[in-house]
Amino acid sequence: MKLTVSHLHCEMADRKRGAIMTNEVLAIEKCKTVVERYYTFGEIENLVRAFDDCTLPKPEWTHQSHLTVAMWYLVHYSGREATARIRNGIKRFNAAKGVKTTLTGGYHETMTMFWICTVSRYLLFADEDCSFIELVNGMLESCGDKNLPFKYYSRDLLMSVRARASWVEPDLRPFV
């Protein structure tokens, strides 16, 4: 059986901890998040295009869509350019859909930067020979759990006005 990017990513992480997992089932249970898989490059391209021109229906702007768009930009642009495009794109999309940034809703800088860093880290360790579809699906499976930030941040800090407006460092454990 061919190993997927998520299996490779898990195996690499396990090696770094000095414990190579040989049981594939354990690797899947440990790393897999249930996601709706992409099957064609065109699906991803259409998502990004619809996001860019703000025609994506608001209900389709899911956590998975956020991460997929982030990966698209991080693969196609430098880190600085990708980050600017992600930030500005989310703000533009929200405005087009009537989502206002307030003290408790809308754009969230710390959350955006956390996920940009998470996707960037995944890309750093991903298999170079994977297709873009395999990269996206593997990333969504291995680090797409929308509750992941709460392993690093207390709810009070992450939901604070300060965290929404600007990057704040985690308070539970370092994000390295």
Q: Is residue 150 part of a domain?
A: yes
What pLDDT score was predicted for residue 33?
59
Instruction: Please state the length of the chain.
Output: 176
Q: Is residue 158 part of a domain?
A: yes
Distance CA 108, CA 49 (A): 22
CA of 161: how far to CAs of 96, 111, 166, in Å?
A: 23, 12, 9
Q: Is residue 170 part of a domain?
A: no
What pLDDT score was predicted for residue 175?
84
What pLDDT score was predicted for residue 17?
33
Q: Which of 112, 122, 139 is nearest to 33 (CA)?
A: 139
What pLDDT score was predicted for residue 30?
39
What pLDDT score was predicted for residue 6?
37
What range defines the domain where residue 103 resides? 5-165
Q: Is residue 149 part of a domain?
A: yes
Q: What confidence tens digit (pLDDT) does each residue in 109-157 have?
A: 999 999 999 999 999 999 989 999 999 999 999 999 999 999 999 999 9
Structural contact between residues 68 and 136, judged by C-beta atoms closer than 8 angstroms: yes
What pLDDT score was predicted for residue 36?
87
Structural contact between residues 167 and 90, judged by C-beta atoms closer than 8 angstroms: no
What pLDDT score was predicted for residue 176?
75
Q: Is residue 58 part of a domain?
A: yes
**Amino acid identity, position 28:** I
Q: Is residue 175 part of a domain?
A: no
What pLDDT score was predicted for residue 25?
29
Give me the number of domains the chain comprises. Answer: 1
| Regions in the chain scoring below 50 on pLDDT | 1-32
Q: Is residue 124 part of a domain?
A: yes
What pLDDT score was predicted for residue 12?
37
Query: Which phi and psi angles does 86 have, rounded to 5°?
Result: -65, -50
Q: Is residue 173 part of a domain?
A: no
Q: Which of 120, 117, 123, 116 is nearest to 138 (CA)?
A: 123
Instruction: Determine what percent of the chain falls in helix, strand and coil, rounding each to the nearest 5.
Output: 60, 0, 40
